[in-house]
Amino acid sequence: MEKKQKTISVTGVGIKDVARLAGVSPATVSRALSGGPVSEALRAQVEAAVRASGYRPNLAARRLRSQHSGTVGLVVADIRNPFFTGLSRAVEDSAYQAGMRVILCNTDEDPQREALYLRLMQEERVSGLIFAPTRASMSTLDQSSFEFPVVLVDRAATGVPFDAVVLDNRAAAAQLVNHLVARGYRRIGGLFGKTSITGAERRDGYVGAMQRHGLESAYRLVAPTAEAAYAEAAAWFAEATRPQALVVSNSLLLVGVLKAARAAGLCMPADLALAGFDNDNWTELVEPGITVIEQPVDDIGRSAMGLLFERLQEPQRPLRRVVLSGRCIVRGSTAVLETAVTGAVPQEAER
Amino acid sequence: MEKKQKTISVTGVGIKDVARLAGVSPATVSRALSGGPVSEALRAQVEAAVRASGYRPNLAARRLRSQHSGTVGLVVADIRNPFFTGLSRAVEDSAYQAGMRVILCNTDEDPQREALYLRLMQEERVSGLIFAPTRASMSTLDQSSFEFPVVLVDRAATGVPFDAVVLDNRAAAAQLVNHLVARGYRRIGGLFGKTSITGAERRDGYVGAMQRHGLESAYRLVAPTAEAAYAEAAAWFAEATRPQALVVSNSLLLVGVLKAARAAGLCMPADLALAGFDNDNWTELVEPGITVIEQPVDDIGRSAMGLLFERLQEPQRPLRRVVLSGRCIVRGSTAVLETAVTGAVPQEAER
DNA sequence: CTGAAAGCGCTTACAG
DNA sequence: CTGAAAGCGCTTACAG
């Protein structure tokens, strides 16, 4: 069983070998394998011949001939960022379910690598691309740069000429502010990443919500690393106007802020309340638990693949932008402020 | 600039178009692009024509003709496991540096999906495969199953007929035991995953080290999920023979144990010392910090790619097994036991 | 339903 | 160094 019939071919057993074995033409083998119109008798012969020979179709040949790569590209900043880890898993699952492959690339937010990988996508003739662009490159892009559909994820300015799946970042940030206000906090600061559009949108949401509550915004922008957040937070905590509560725009920054708070000897939430984004493992495990906005990564990945498929079927359809909501997971880091002015009713509901 | 010369071809601009534009043959374009022997004059003409036409080579055609896919497969259990996240990033970096692509597949430890993806690797005609097999499939595998080199990572029984890169799991587990003994603990239990060879090796290391110290082993095996670990640990903590310290074989189980300890109201390290594997973010951030063995994921990924390349260059070389050491990161979860019998000198050094 | 033939876009001996 | 020709392994009109 499973005897390896070494044929003359260097390449192993090909469709012609199977055809010979089954006593049919290569065309019939091809049809039988792709579910084409073949009589049951021949189909059975072909299947037997495939099993006997251990034949595996050559995908490079199939792609070249059929002009379908059956491949989608996924270009993100860094797979080690838990948001992208989850996203890539969701995209891969959707893709493999649809019988497609995924090519994953990490740009590290480097425009040069970004350009390199976009070029690669062209060379692979991907059927479509799911892309989380840097802010710089997003403005450069237009549809004519690509001969395949592109779906932006996570980062997409309103009005960009692409299908997109994003979180409602403004609403999510506002949700955190509302929650903090409801819990009695007033001097609420913000720390946002300055390189991605996501950080900017979350900042806008924060500023808007603070305004609606009649509170004064105080935010700072940092490079998207734990180290930068640590430095900025440490400096801030040393100032007289240190905030009572902090809204932080992603989990990397959150790590930096947490370490800075500990280094400064600040207790949560008594000395500092903390609220952020991404329901990473550690935000639950740390004491007293960090209040965060959880992003629906599975939905985001699935929706992105969905938009891609629909675009492939109907290239001329109007642009679509799927906006998903985050879920606020309340934990100990934003417990009710004990010195709260109980008379001050928040002007907006928590949700 | 960058004018899209739409040619008659449906497929976009091909090598023949470039050749016509440059006034040379397709063969010369091919040579110029692949760094073959071409005069400087013609090379410049070709480069200009490529720029002018926006030509991008079709990788499917190149692969079919050259019989090199320039692709390595990476088959792991789940990219969301932080060990595999780091590994995949390391492998991808090595691969892209060498001008190769990576195809990533998540098996979820499911033998059926494993078989499916191994078949896919054949169809892609990958140049090589980096593979973390389940225990079940590892015994099934032999070299003749593949027509490309395979390097096992993370999981590889001694004696398997493949190149492999693994952690010295026995030494690492022993290191944790030695450390706990040196800190004064004696009733040291173990919790190990039962599905992977890794868990078994770590258990062996634990048992051996306990024996050398003249201590009695007490370990339990569980399914590799946080839930299973939680259930088992919760039950154990309720028993009279509850351990003073616990060695846990991976970070998923560690999460379960930590939650169970908290639910049982056990303080670390006073009521329970904890030591595990994988220097995941949260092990540092949690109070009082968990002592763990850090795996050199970058080294593991790089070494695996290295073994693959060497095997491709020299198919007949003897099998190689690279065994890397973990680094013990000591944190508060294994602080000196205050009630330690100070007379009992550990029989082995901590390292 | 089936087969013979053409061709996807490249690379690579082969000959000069 | 250069070009004409063959061919990698498939799929797909085309004809029957």
H/E segment holding residue B197: helix B197-212
Instruction: Indicate the pTM of the whole model.
Output: 0.90
Per-residue pLDDT at A10: 53
Interface test with A, best of B282, B287, B333 (most A CBs within 10 A): B282
Interface of A with B in 262-321 (CB under 8 A): 280-282, 285-287
- What's the average model confidence in pLDDT over B325-348? 72
Query: CA-to-CA distance for B271 and B240, rounded, in angstroms?
Result: 13
For chain A, say whether B258 makes contact (Cβ under 8 Å): yes
φ/ψ of A221, rounded to 5, equals: -110, 140
For chain B, say whether A86 makes contact (Cβ under 8 Å): yes
- CB-CB: which of B60, B124, B282 is closest to A285? B282
Which residue of chain B comes nearest to A99, CA vs CA? B120
Query: CA-to-CA distance for A203 and B279, rounded, in angstroms?
Result: 32
- What's the average model confidence in pLDDT over B7-30? 84
- What's the average model confidence in pLDDT over B106-112? 91
Q: Do B14 and B58 meet the contact criterion of CB atoms below 8 Å apart?
A: yes
Q: Do B205 and B170 meet the contact criterion of CB atoms below 8 Å apart?
A: yes
Mean pLDDT check: name the lowest of A135-139, B12-16, B290-294, B326-330. A135-139
A14, A36, B83 from A32: Cα distances, Å: 15, 6, 42
pLDDT band at B10 (very low <50, low <70, confident <90, very high): low
Query: CA-to-CA distance for B19 and B52, rounded, in angstroms?
Result: 12
pLDDT band at B273 (very low <50, low <70, confident <90, very high): very high
Residue type, A19: A
Per-residue pLDDT at B339: 60
CB contact under 8 A, A89 and B106: yes
Task: Look up tokens 């932006």; give the residue.
Answer: A152
Which residue of chain B comes nearest to A260, CA vs CA? B285
Comparing CA positions, the residue from B276, B195, B198, B270 lying closest to residue B228 is B195
A228, B77, B107, B280, B307 from A89: Cα distances, Å: 29, 11, 11, 19, 27
CA distance B105 to chain A (A): 8
Per-residue pLDDT at A8: 38
Per-residue pLDDT at A300: 97
- B158-174 residue pLDDT tens: 889 999 999 999 999 99
CB contact under 8 A, B285 and A280: no
Q: Do A106 and A79 meet the contact criterion of CB atoms below 8 Å apart?
A: yes
Q: Provide, in whole angstroms, the distance separating residue A212's CA from nucleotide C8's C1'.
A: 61
Nucleotide nearest A125 (Cα, C1'): C9
Q: Provide, in whole angstroms, the distance separating residue B67's CA from nucleotide C5's C1'.
A: 24
H/E segment holding residue B73: strand B71-76
DSSP A121-184: HHHHT-SEEEE---HHHHHH--GGG-SS-EEEES---TT-SSEEEEE-HHHHHHHHHHHHHHTT
Mean pLDDT check: name the lowest of A115-124, A217-226, B2-11, B270-279. B2-11
CB contact under 8 A, B287 and A287: yes
Q: Do B147 and B122 meet the contact criterion of CB atoms below 8 Å apart?
A: yes
Residue numbers of chain A with a pLDDT score lower than 50? 1-9, 340-351
Per-residue pLDDT at B267: 93
**Cα first-last separation, chain B:** 64
Q: Which residues pair with B152 in a beta bridge?
A: B131, B164
pLDDT at B350 over 80: no
CB contact under 8 A, A88 and B78: no
Q: Provide, in whole angstroms, the distance separating residue B32's CA from nucleotide C15's C1'.
A: 20
Which residue of chain A comes nearest to B69, CA vs CA? A60
A112, B11, B15 from B57: Cα distances, Å: 20, 11, 7
H helices within chain A, ranges in order? 15-22, 26-33, 40-53, 59-66, 82-97, 111-124, 135-140, 169-182, 197-212, 226-237, 251-263, 281-285, 297-313
Task: Give the other-Cβ count within 10 Å of A6's Cβ.
Answer: 8
Domains recognised in chain A with CATH numbers:
15-64 (1.10.260.40), 71-167+298-325 (3.40.50.2300), 169-295 (3.40.50.2300)
Residue type, B279: N
For chain A, say whether B238 makes contact (Cβ under 8 Å): no
H/E segment holding residue B201: helix B197-212
DSSP B18-64: HHHHHTS-HHHHHHHHTT-S--HHHHHHHHHHHHHHT----HHHHHH
CA distance A334 to chain B (A): 18
| Spatial CB neighbours of A40, under 8 Å, sequence gap ≥ 6 | none
pLDDT at B345 over 90: no
Query: CA-to-CA distance for A319 and A107, rounded, in angstroms?
Result: 26
